[in-house]
Amino acid sequence: MSGGVCEPRHENGTTVHRATVCHLFFCVCVKLGDSATITHGKLQQALGDDAMSREQAFLWQNPC
């Protein structure tokens, strides 16, 4: 995601770690009722090769 269009930044100008962004996105999708499979598909669509693995998506589903 570095150098890409979607490069979130903190108020102080530093970039937000990609894993943090993915986890927040993932939690929002879960709260909206999306399954891990659907959420993983959305991440792949948005981030391509930078998306987390399917296995990681299923691990992250429960902590949200």
Tokens 């499979």, located at residue: 37
Per-residue buried b or exposed e for 20-46, using 16+ beta carbons within 10 Å of the residue's own CB: ebbbeebeebbeeebebeebbbbbeee
Tell me which amino acid residue 36 is.
Answer: A
CA–CA gap between residue 3 and residue 61 (Å, rounded): 28
Query: Of 15, 43, 11, which is closest to residue 27 (Cα–Cα)?
Result: 43
| The pTM of the whole model exceeds 0.75 | no
Structure tokens at 53: 């693995």
pLDDT, one tens digit per residue, over 33-60 is 998 889 889 888 987 887 778 888 788 7
Q: Where do the structural domains in the chain lie, given as residue ranges?
A: 24-61
